[in-house]
């Protein structure tokens, strides 16, 4: 589904990402880990055509993401609160995204009802603008918005940050359910090794912009990664 070829991003002569080859098959639950500055958000930003590569390319379902917008209808993402529209209420934002993705109000309401416990009574019918919500509640809105329209590729950057333990548990359940769908490819980036391993069947670790580990998740994965990062 996603193919990376000779991808490089350089700022002022410093290379922050350099991936020669990487393939993420359709239906994979893909976890991306690494320290601050490892290149995780840079990779996702390139994947979403938010920044231009210095060299190479990424293809999403054989579509070069920086040459065509044909990948957008089946791809959704939430990287941070800049993806939100601060002067809208959560409901207005959900319906706006629904309209972009060909969903009517009833479709969106059904999705919101399904994930009502994820909101924990703090999001809907509160008559608050998105800009006035806490970081955690903004994240809840952004994450659920990525599910509108049943996208085939879902990209979440640091989804567990700023969430309380109960919400983290509920989010892991949502991601695992998505991962069970062979038509859905989900990419999760996080500093939290345990959470990422729990929801991913493959883990790629970045260090200084390069892939240093690419492993299928097993009972030994957490120990292997902890030992690796302990000496970095």
CATH class of the 2-86+153-230 domain in this structure? alpha beta
C-alpha to C-alpha distance for 170 and 143, rounded to whole angstroms: 12
pLDDT at 60: 97
Bridge partners of 143? none
Give alpha helix (H) positions in 53-134. 90-100, 105-114, 116-119
Q: Which segments within 83-166 are labelled E, that is strand?
A: 153-157
Q: Within 13 Å, how many C-alpha atoms sit on residue 206's CB side?
A: 26
> CA quadruple 214, 219, 225, 227: dihedral positive or negative?
negative
Q: Please determine, for residue 212, whether its predicted confidence score (pLDDT) is greater than 90.
A: yes
> What pLDDT is recorded for position 185?
97
- Look over the chain and give the mean of its residue pLDDT values, rounded to a whole number: 95
In which band, very low, low, confident or very high, does the pLDDT at 178 lie, cut at 50, 70 and 90?
A: very high
- In tens, the pLDDT along 103-141 reads 999 999 999 999 999 998 899 999 899 999 999 999 999
Pairing of strands 202-207, 210-216: antiparallel
**pLDDT tens digits, one per residue of 62-102:** 999 999 999 999 999 999 999 999 999 999 999 999 999 99
Q: In what order do the strands lie in the sheet containing 55-60?
A: 14-24, 2-11, 55-60, 63-64
231 pLDDT higher than 80: no
Q: How many whole angstroms separate alpha carbon 70 and alpha carbon 11? A: 28
pLDDT digits 0-9 by tens, 201-210: 999 999 999 9
Q: How confident is the model at residue 164 (pLDDT cuts 50, 70, 90)?
A: very high
Torsion of CA 116, 118, 121, 122, to 10 degrees: -130
Which 3 state secondary structure label does DSSP give 35?
coil
From 188, 153, 168, 225, select the one nearest 40 (Cα to Cα).
Answer: 188
Average pLDDT over residues 34-46: 94
CB burial of 89-101 (b: ≥16 within 10 Å; e: otherwise) equals: bbbebbbebbeeb
pLDDT reported for residue 229: 87
Contacts of 36 (CB under 8 A, 6+ apart): 191
pLDDT of residue 50: 97
């Amino acid at each position: 589904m996603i193919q990376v070829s000779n991808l490089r991003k350089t700022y002022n002569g410093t290379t922050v990402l350099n991936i020669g080859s990487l393939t993420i098959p359709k239906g994979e639950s893909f976890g991306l880990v690494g320290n601050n500055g490892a290149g995780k958000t840079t990779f996702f930003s390139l994947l979403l055509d938010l920044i231009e590569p210095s060299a190479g390319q990424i293809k999403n379902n054989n579509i070069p993401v920086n040459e065509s917008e044909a990948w957008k209808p089946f791809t959704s993402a939430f990287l941070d609160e800049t993806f939100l529209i601060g002067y809208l209420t959560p409901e207005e934002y959900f319906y706006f995204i629904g309209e972009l993705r060909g969903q009517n109000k009833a479709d969106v309401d059904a999705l919101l009802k399904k994930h009502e416990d994820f909101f924990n009574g703090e999001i809907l019918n509160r008559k608050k603008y998105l800009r006035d919500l806490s970081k955690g509640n903004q994240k809840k809105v952004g994450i659920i918005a990525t599910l509108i329209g049943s996208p085939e590729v879902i990209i979440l950057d640091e989804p567990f940050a700023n969430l309380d333990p109960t919400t983290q548990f509920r989010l892991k359940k949502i991601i695992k359910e998505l991962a069970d769908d062979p038509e859905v490819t989900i990419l999760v980036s996080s500093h939290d090794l345990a959470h990422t391993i729990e929801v991913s069947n493959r883990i790629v670790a970045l260090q200084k912009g390069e892939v240093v580990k690419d492993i299928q998740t097993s009972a030994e994965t957490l120990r292997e990664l902890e030992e690796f990062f302990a000496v970095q």
